[in-house]
Structure formats: structure tokens, C-alpha cells
């Protein structure tokens, strides 16, 4: 009833049919997706190649939802201006790919986009404490980045909980996003742990029923959130 909805479903187009991307995004949006997750891979930082600014530019023409660009690339600084130009709204970079993370986040801000930092499964959340005040979101990877449809790594739940605790202790307002293996069998637990931005690729697009599957996932997430609020 008066409960403020915080969880959002963030469909990841990685598992969409790229030949019908506009239709896929529209279906996910009808199903309740409110942010579109765009996985950028360079075949160097991760062992796979996907897409870059030209596709972001095309997506910009077919949706007004925020485009959440997850850069799984080496030397992200070199491409930030191009993503801004293409119409990206949120840009997240990997802690593991940024030797000068503070500078990279400044660059994203300077280009008018919302900066996020991403942690691989093996990276501790404590390592980003100092830069938390400047990020809009923190993305906890719950699989090793590179591919859709992988199995959720359970210890990610502990990282989400620790990050939520840090946010409380520090009195900050960044948002907590989770990415990898978020599906019908895991979404309740990630919401209970404290994640609010729920990236899902295979679970939304894998069966070719993006509207139906997005709606189901979002309903499960909201139920988990409601149960948590009632505690």
C-alpha cells in the first residue's frame, strides 16, 4: 500500500535477439523494466566481444529509459567521451580495470553521466570505501563477467549485505546493483540481501518472452521487498 517501491528490474540486452533489439527492449519495458543494461565487452578485459557506442546510439533512438552501460573493457577512459556522445546515462567501470579509479569516475561525471563502480566476485567491497561518496551506483558481479546465462555465485549475497551495511554506516545514498545469474530461483535472495537494481539477461530474454518474464521477475522482487519491509 503506502510502501515505497525501491527495487527496479534492469533487463540486460546481452541475451536479447540483436536482430530485433528495438522490439526486445520495448517488450522488456512493457513487462516493467525501468533501466536498460548494456554490456560492453572488449575481448581483452573479458574473454568475449559484444558492442560499443554505435549500438548505444541506436538504442537511444528507440527508448527513453536510462541506458546503464557496464564497461567490461580495458582503458575505459579512452571511450567515455564516445559513450556520452552516444547517449549513455549511467556508466560503470570495473575496479579491476581502473588503476586510477578516482580519475575515471571524475571523467564520467565531467561528461554528465552517472558514475558506477563494478566489483568482480573475487574483489572485496572494502576496497572502494573511499570513493563511495562519489558513485551513483555500485554493481556487485554475481558471476565472472563475460557471458550471460551463468550460475549465480552464492557468496555474492554476503557482499551485497556488507555493502548495504557500509552505506548505512557512512550515511550515503548510492544504489546497489547486482548482475549475473539473477533469475526466478535467486531474485528473492538478492533482494533480501539488499540489492535494488536487479540486472537480468537470460531470465528476461532467454525464452523469447521478454514481457512475460520481466513481469514475473519484477513481481517476485516486489514480493521479496514487501516481505523485507514488513520485518
Instruction: Choose which of 56, 143, 160, 191 interacts with ligand DX5 (CB under 6 A).
Output: 143
Measured between alpha carbons, how far is residue 162 from residues 79, 138, 155, 166, 195 in Å? 31, 12, 11, 6, 11
Question: Between 70 and 114, whose beta carbon lies closer to ligand DX5?
Answer: 70
Measured between alpha carbons, how far is residue 101 from residues 77, 108, 127, 172 in Å? 10, 11, 11, 19
Question: Between 53 and 201, whose beta carbon lies closer to ligand DX5?
Answer: 201
Judge contact between 40 and 53, C-beta under 8 A.
no
Question: Between 138 and 143, whose beta carbon lies closer to ligand DX5?
Answer: 143
Chain-centre distance for alpha carbon 29: 16
Residue nearest to Zn ion (CB): 70
**3-state SS assignment for residue 93:** strand
Catalytic residue among 39, 42, 68, 213: 39
Phi, psi of 198 (to 5 degrees): -105, 105
Question: Between 14 and 191, whose beta carbon lies closer to ligand DX5?
Answer: 14
Instruction: Choose which of 39, 68, 177, 196 interacts with Zn ion (CB under 5 A).
Output: 39
How many Cβ atoms from other residues are within 10 Å of residue 122's Cβ? 10
Instruction: Determine if 70 is a binding residue for Zn ion (CB under 5 A).
Output: yes
Site of grid cell 571523467: 107
Instruction: Determine if 56 is a binding residue for ligand DX5 (CB under 6 A).
Output: no
Instruction: Choose which of 27, 107, 193, 199 interacts with ligand DX5 (CB under 6 A).
Output: 199
Measured between alpha carbons, how far is residue 63 from residues 28, 136, 191 in Å? 11, 21, 26
Sole window of 22-30, 84-92, 143-151, 161-169 interacting with ligand DX5 (rule: CB under 6 A): 143-151
Instruction: Choose which of 66, 87, 149, 226 interacts with ligand DX5 (CB under 6 A).
Output: 149
Instruction: Choose which of 179, 196, 213, 225 interacts with Zn ion (CB under 5 A).
Output: 179
Question: Between 198 and 220, whose beta carbon lies closer to Zn ion?
Answer: 198
Phi, psi of 31 (to 5 degrees): -75, -5
Instruction: Choose which of 178, 200, 210, 220 interacts with ligand DX5 (CB under 6 A).
Output: 200
And the C-alpha cell for 200? Answer: 537480468
Among residue numbers 71 through 130, which ones bind ligand DX5 (CB under 6 A)?
A: none
Q: Which of 67, 92, 56, 73 is nearest to 176 (CA)?
A: 92
Asked about 68 being catalytic, the answer comes back as no
Q: Least distance (Å) from ligand DX5 to the CB of residue 66?
A: 15
Catalytic residue numbers?
39, 179
Q: Can you give the binding site for Zn ion, defined by CB under 5 A?
A: 39, 70, 179
Amino acid at each position: 500500500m503506502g510502501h515505497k517501491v525501491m527495487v527496479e528490474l534492469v533487463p540486460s540486452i546481452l541475451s536479447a535477439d540483436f536482430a530485433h533489439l528495438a522490439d526486445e527492449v520495448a517488450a522488456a519495458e512493457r513487462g516493467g523494466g525501468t533501466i536498460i543494461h548494456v554490456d560492453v565487452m572488449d575481448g581483452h578485459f573479458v574473454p568475449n566481444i559484444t558492442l560499443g557506442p554505435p549500438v548505444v546510439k541506436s538504442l537511444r533512438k528507440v527508448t527513453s529509459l536510462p541506458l546503464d552501460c557496464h564497461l567490461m573493457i580495458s582503458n575505459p577512459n579512452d571511450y567515455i567521451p564516445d559513450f556520452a556522445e552516444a547517449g549513455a546515462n549511467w556508466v560503470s567501470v570495473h575496479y579491476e580495470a581502473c588503476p586510477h579509479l578516482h580519475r575515471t569516475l571524475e571523467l564520467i561525471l565531467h561528461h554528465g553521466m552517472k558514475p558506477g563502480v563494478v566489483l568482480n566476485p573475487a574483489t572485496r567491497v572494502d576496497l572502494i570505501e573511499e570513493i563511495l561518496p562519489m558513485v551513483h551506483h555500485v554493481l556487485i558481479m554475481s558471476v565472472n563477467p563475460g557471458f550471460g546465462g551463468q550460475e549465480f555465485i552464492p557468496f555474492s549475497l554476503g557482499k551485497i549485505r556488507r555493502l548495504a551495511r557500509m552505506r548505512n554506516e557512512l550515511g550515503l545514498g548510492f544504489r546497489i546493483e547486482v548482475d549475473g545469474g539473477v533469475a526466478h530461483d535467486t531474485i528473492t535472495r538478492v533482494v533480501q540481501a539488499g540489492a535494488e537494481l536487479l540486472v537480468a539477461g537470460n531470465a528476461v530474454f532467454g525464452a523469447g518472452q521478454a514481457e512475460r518474464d520481466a513481469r514475473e521477475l519484477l513481481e517476485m522482487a516486489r514480493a521479496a521487498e514487501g516481505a523485507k519491509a514488513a520485518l
